[in-house]
Amino acid sequence: MTTVTLENTNYKDEIRRKTSKPLMWVGIMSIVMFFGGLTSAVVVSQGGGSFLTIAMPQAFVISTFVIVLSSLAFHFGLISVKKGNHTMAKLSVGITLALGLAFVATQYMGWVTLHDNGVYAIGSESTQQSSFLYLLTALHILHLIGGLVSLIVVLVKTMKERYTSEDSVGMQVSLTYWHFLGGLWVYLFFFLRYSIA
């Protein structure tokens, strides 16, 4: 078999630049459908008649502010990269990561509150709505962990000043995902607030 690598055409870089963002957007669509399925399940279950409400922990309200702030910080980081201000970019991405971790912490605090109030995720004392509440928030965190990993990669690259005003595709892809996670949480928060809590 003839082996032609075509490395000299440099087409792989071009493909990466052209396709990274669309790949992320289509991936986001599938995550939207995943959570769409689950939140629809909550709506269908509400029709069952035995659906009770749960008090939403205060920590989840704080989570909402934290993740919105982190999105703004990350966005500011990209603007800084585009303006060539690497110092501000490093600071912004660092703050984003710190806020991302703070979000996880506030979510954990929320679960502790729920547990202390006798709201359980699984087991015989759990109810359908308590299980949904834990599951939806946990699945969001699971997706957020992917975002945090990408944030760490972006932070390392920002520290090394790899992103430039001409090529910041990797950072833009990570930012898109982070904004999406923020939006997803805001949706989940209000959805849970008005359907379960």
Residues in contact with other proteins by CB under 8 A are: 1-6, 9, 11, 15, 18-19, 22-23, 26-27, 29-31, 33-38, 40-41, 44-45, 48, 50-51, 121-124, 126-128, 131-132, 135, 139
The tokens describing 50, both together, are: 């035995």
CB of 51 to other proteins, least distance (A): 8
What are the residues whose beta carbons fall under 8 Å from the beta carbon of 132, sequence distance 6 or more? 38, 41, 42, 45, 196
Q: Which is nearer to other proteins, 45 or 85 (CB)?
A: 45
CB of 120 to other proteins, least distance (A): 10
How many helices (H) does the chain have, and how many strands (E)?
5, 0
The 8-class DSSP code of residue 61 comes to H
Q: Which is nearer to other proteins, 16 or 160 (CB)?
A: 16
Q: Which is nearer to other proteins, 50 or 87 (CB)?
A: 50
The C-alpha atoms of residue 150 and residue 8 are separated, in whole angstroms, by: 30
CB of 197 to other proteins, least distance (A): 17
> What is each CA distance from 154 to 12, 76, 110, in whole angstroms?
21, 14, 29
CB of 26 to other proteins, least distance (A): 5
